[in-house]
């Protein structure tokens, strides 16, 4: 079993979007995947409930406020969708529990400011564990000024940008039917799937 935590203290950063699409990827790759929803709002579990049973299957459960002491061992992958505001000792415990951490960041001044302390504490906690934390730049084209600002901002934390995920209604549409860009018809989402490649590669390393 391998595990990945998707976290960012800011609501709307793209945590659930990353968690559900990643889960969809694993399911379509024939891997046993469990989506663990840590958020009281349970958006990830709602997504699962919308999912057509004829699609590649995903498991899920709600951990709620309860701190998990261990993760299920049976699946190939466990994806954890964190709530906004995950910090302090709970964050520390989850960081110890998982193999990888992905932090989605939207390159707006507000989002970056809201994420600054979080990135600083992650950096502190993860000293000596290289290659475990990666950033996904969310809703951004890498050739824009916003992307350059994000890169400049992230230099302070010495964390890699794994990929840039473009802003597209595709994510809104698939979410509404319990799907991911990795579910068929895949040809419709070719450009989006390409942007995930470096993230998937990094996770498997």
Ligand X SMILES: Nc1ncnc2c1ncn2[C@@H]1O[C@H](COP(=O)(O)OP(=O)(O)O)[C@@H](O)[C@H]1O
Tell me if 16 contacts Mg ion by CB under 5 A.
yes
**Which does residue 121 touch among Mg ion, ligand X, none (CB within 5 to 8 A, set by kind)?**
none
- Span near Mg ion by CB under 5 A; candidates 40-48, 113-121, 160-168, 175-183: 40-48
For ligand X, the closer CB: 15 or 51: 15
21 binds Mg ion (CB under 5 A): no
Among 4, 5, 10, 15, binds Mg ion (CB under 5 A): 15
3 touches which of Mg ion, ligand X, none (CB within 5 to 8 A by kind)? none
Which of Mg ion, ligand X, none does residue 23 bind (CB under 5 to 8 Å by kind)? none
Residue 54 CA to residue 33 CA, distance in Å, equals 16
Least separation in angstroms between CB 51 and Mg ion: 17
Chain residues in the site for ligand X (CB under 6 A): 8, 11-17, 43, 138-139, 165, 167-168, 171-172, 175
Residues 115-154 that bind Mg ion (CB under 5 A): none
Give how far the C-alpha of residue 108 lies from the chain's centroid of Cα atoms, to the nearest Å.
18
Positions in the binding site for Mg ion (CB under 5 A) = 15-16, 43
């Amino acid at each position: 079993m391998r595990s990945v935590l998707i976290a960012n203290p800011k609501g709307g950063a793209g945590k659930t979007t990353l968690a559900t699409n990643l889960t969809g990827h694993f399911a379509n790759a024939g891997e046993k995947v469990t989506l663990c929803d840590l958020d009281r709002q349970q958006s990830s579990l709602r997504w699962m409930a919308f999912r057509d049973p004829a699609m590649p299957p995903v498991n899920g459960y709600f951990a709620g406020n309860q701190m998990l002491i261990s993760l299920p061992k049976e699946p190939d992958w466990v994806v954890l969708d964190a709530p906004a505001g995950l910090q302090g000792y709970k964050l520390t415990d989850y960081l110890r529990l998982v193999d990888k951490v992905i932090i989605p960041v939207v390159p707006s001044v507000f989002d970056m400011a809201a994420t600054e302390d979080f990135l600083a504490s992650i950096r502190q906690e993860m000293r000596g564990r290289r290659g475990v934390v990666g950033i996904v730049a969310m809703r951004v084209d890498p050739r824009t000024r916003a992307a350059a600002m994000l890169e400049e901002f992230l230099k302070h934390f010495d964390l890699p940008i794994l990929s840039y995920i473009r802003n597209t209604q595709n994510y809104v549409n698939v979410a509404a039917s319990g799907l991911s860009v990795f579910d068929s018809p895949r040809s419709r989402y070719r450009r989006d799937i390409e942007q995930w490649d470096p993230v998937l590669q990094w996770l498997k390393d």
